[in-house]
Amino acid sequence: MAQGSNNNDVFMGSAAQFMQAGQNMMQQFMDYLGKSGGQAAAMPPPVADPQALTGLQKQFMDQQMSLWQSVLGKQQGQEPAFKVAPEPGDRRFSAPEWKESPIYDYLHQAYLLNTQYLKQMVEVMPAQDEKAKERMRFLARQMADAMAPSNFAATNPEFIKLAIETKGQSITDGINNLIKDFEKGRISMTDESVFEVGKNIATTEGAVVYENEAMQLIQYAPLTPKVASRPLVVVPPCINKFYIMDLQPDNSLIRFMVEQGNTVFLVSWRNPTEAQGHLGWDDYLENGPIAALRVAREITKVKQVNALGFCVGGTILTSALAVLKARGESPVASLTLLTTLLDFSDTGEIGLFIDEQGVTTRESTIGQGGLLPARDLQNTFSFLRANDLVWNYVTGNYLKGQKPQAFDLLYWNSDSTNLPGPFAAWYMRNMYLENNLCVPGKLTMCGEQVDLGKLDMPVYLLATREDHIVPWQSAYQSTRLLSGKVRYVLGASGHIAGVINPVSKNKRSYWINENVTTDADGWLAAAEERKGSWWADWAGWLKPLSGEQRAPRKLGNTKYKAIEPAPGRYVKERAV
């Protein structure tokens, strides 16, 4: 009886602590929100509806009490009457140690209840507009993720068990991992010693045939006896290295393009240093796609090429084509855009980081010259998926002392790039903040007023259903902006996995609907699901637009001689 009383006291104390922790978490969030601009500065701090707040508090207290009684009953051999399950995909508490001990069993479930309470509280709080509400949700999630018991040595039973089993070696290894990452200035996500650009990733054969201050242009060697007369010019994003499209031979989109009989040219953006800190948006258009299109046409001796842009590379490419159209030029026969925004009215969580105050600050500092550091960009993208890309490695690297596994995608993810300040500031204001690109004649680029509606070439638009960077509904809006015939395809998975989905793996699905006159939800409701990769569908769409077959030409020509083998030196430059 005394033992049961002791257990009762322990659990009652724990329950009270976690009820208070939930209340404290909410109060900390409210305080932080008031300091961080969750609403307009002139507005008073948000106040929840008293009746709704009272109801949530009562529900929270009742659930905490039910959890305490359930865990206590479980120790006495009773079937738990109340459980709190993690959300689908949350693996933080999947190890058996979290359920073997009543303390940790209660600990992690109480945390999940606190997290639910925090999210529910956000929903009853007033907000100036939907963007302010989304910012509140984001901040609440960041706070909840950071406070997870799995992130701390004293509250993580996996840490304790491993430390005992290794006689403290795991603690030593974790401290050493932490010191090394401090020296690097970032969290290690993979064993970086395994990979080398140009050696076992980015290995598709080719040569750099042109370069300028902003980029190198790679021409890839043919892999078929004959090639299409009309080449394909690829513009990847400048906020990451291009080799996400050329990781390994079996998952290389670039190699697939070449295997389809295309002569492929690719823009390899420079990783800017202070010497390139003066480059602006117009510089990227002129020295990027506009230069690449000119050189590719001169080398292959054709009037028009096919062009493909990925993510912000697609935004840059489409902007460049609008500039050329205003100049009376139509160098592109078809346009492919992969997970690209042209209408920035809904930018998902990325847009939560961008507001008038922040952009004005950027414009007055790096907007006049300088760099937006790679570390800032990487941290921003990582915290969009903090549990997967931050706290997972904090737990594994530092608490458990583990060495990250070798994974090519995560090596690429860690190989970040800087951005020139003037480019970044102009892009944030005119795209994310003011959404000017989709307004005909609103923007002047390279001395020309641009109108996307004048681009009348056939267009292949790919979005991905779980994309947290380019929401698929936003990508669908491009069907309203471009006047050529559009084929819109929706891939499964996210921003990267949905794009890099090799045909050979026969994984995932994609959705097709030829009717793009409805809204996004209507399009999806009538779409046909097809198993496998969208790559084959795109290759079939592109082939009739690629011209007649002919014998492949050598890389470059007398004017544009091969400078160095692919992937070139620009892509090997790492941000410091």
User: What gap in Å lies between CA 397 and CA 415, rounded to an integer?
Assistant: 19
Alpha-carbon span 571 to 533, nearest angstrom: 28
The single residue of 238, 311, 438, 446 carrying the catalytic annotation is 311
Q: β-strand 509-512 against 528-531: which pairing, if any?
A: antiparallel
Rg (Cα) of the chain, in Å, rounded?
A: 27
The amino acid that residue 415 corresponds to is D
Nearest C-alpha neighbor of 467 from the set 419, 500, 418: 500
Amino acid at 314: G
438 catalytic, yes or no? no
How far apart (Å, rounded) are the C-alpha atoms in residues 490 and 534? 8
CB atoms within 10 A of CB 363: 17
State the Cα–Cα distance between residues 28 and 22, nearest whole angstrom: 10
Please say whether the beta carbons of 539 and 532 come within 8 A.
no
Task: Confirm if 397 and 181 have CB atoms less than 8 A apart.
Answer: yes
CA distance 204 to 201: 9
CA angle 399, 404, 410 (to 5 degrees): 125
Task: Decide: helix, strand or coil at residue 337.
Answer: strand
CB atoms within 10 A of CB 9: 10
DSSP result, 187-222:
---S-GGG--BTTTBS---EEEEEE-SSEEEEEEPP
User: Which of these, 449, 527, 457, lies nearest to 488 by C-alpha position?
Assistant: 527
Catalytic residues: 311
